[in-house]
Amino acid sequence: MNTQLLHDATFYILYGCIALALFIAIERGLFFAYTRRQARHLAEALIQREVQQSGRLPAALAERPGLPVNMIEPILAQRGRLDHQALEDLVDTQYLATRAPLARSLWIIETITTTAPLLGLLGTILGIIDTFKALASAGVSDPGQISGGIGTALFATGLGIAVALLCVVFHNFFQDRQERINEQLKIVLIRARGAASSPAQAELAEELSPARLRQA
């Protein structure tokens, strides 16, 4: 077994993990930033009187594809056609459909977080084995060869831990962003549900609102 080749392979894998984690971090960062901005604009648009009366989004928002727009378009398309329970079921379905796009690729970062230290440890073990094999065949003529070989082997462990720490930061950051976007999407769905209600349902909901009941 060529332990030197396997030792070098662990470094290449760890470097590949760094590149993959950075690529996912950039892609998820751009996606989350765009989704949050669009969700905020949708939440502001859905409380406008024109949208509440027509059930149609402004052209500037409807023409720009994105997760929030795709989420509420089926709801607005059913304006006045569904009863209250069917509309609630549609809202719940659309919210659940957003979970997978938001969590996409985050499992890769979590996997790298777990496996990177193990890969580094494996590289260290293989490096130490290769060092002792070289000493067994050539003898101990220079103590510096031992320390140099073991130092190179331990570098793999340090690299693996560094990769894991970087991925932990990425994962926690995107988990926080995902939770914030989920809260924004809930607000958008609540307002879209109001815009998709029929005029009769909207009047009934207003009459049964806590504020109106307190006034009565």
All structural domains of the chain with their residue ranges: 3-205
Q: Which of 164, 162, 130 is nearest to 146 (CA)?
A: 130
Q: Which of 151, 188, 129 is nearest to 5 (CA)?
A: 129
Q: Dig out the tokens for 214 from the structure.
A: 């307190």
Cα angle at 16 between 13 and 20, to 5 degrees?
140
Among 52-66, 139-153, 167-181, 197-211, the range of highest mean pLDDT: 167-181
What pLDDT is recorded for position 201? Answer: 46
Higher-confidence residue: 183 or 131?
A: 183
What pLDDT is recorded for position 170? Answer: 95
Q: Dig out the tokens for 72 from the structure.
A: 């509420």
**% of the chain exceeding 90 in pLDDT:** 34
Q: What does the pLDDT look like over 89-143, one tens digit per residue?
A: 888 888 898 889 999 999 999 999 999 999 999 988 888 887 777 777 666 556 6
Q: Which residue has tokens 């991925």? A: 167
What pLDDT is recorded for position 25? Answer: 95
What pLDDT is recorded for position 206? Answer: 45
End-to-end alpha carbon distance in the chain: 85
> What confidence tier does 207 reach under pLDDT thresholds 50, 70, 90?
very low
Instruction: Judge residue 170's burial from the number of C-beta atoms within 10 Å of its C-beta, 0-12 exposed, 13-18 middle, 19 or more buried.
Output: buried
> What confidence tier does 163 reach under pLDDT thresholds 50, 70, 90?
very high
Q: How far apart are CA 84 and CA 213, in angstroms?
A: 20
Q: How far apart are CA 118 and CA 166, in angstroms?
A: 15
What pLDDT is recorded for position 69? Answer: 86
Q: How far apart are CA 62 and CA 35, in angstroms?
A: 14
What pLDDT is recorded for position 141? Answer: 58
Q: Which of 30, 176, 27, 31 is nearest to 108 (CA)?
A: 27
Q: How far apart are CA 138 and CA 132, in angstroms?
A: 10
Higher-confidence residue: 188 or 168?
A: 168
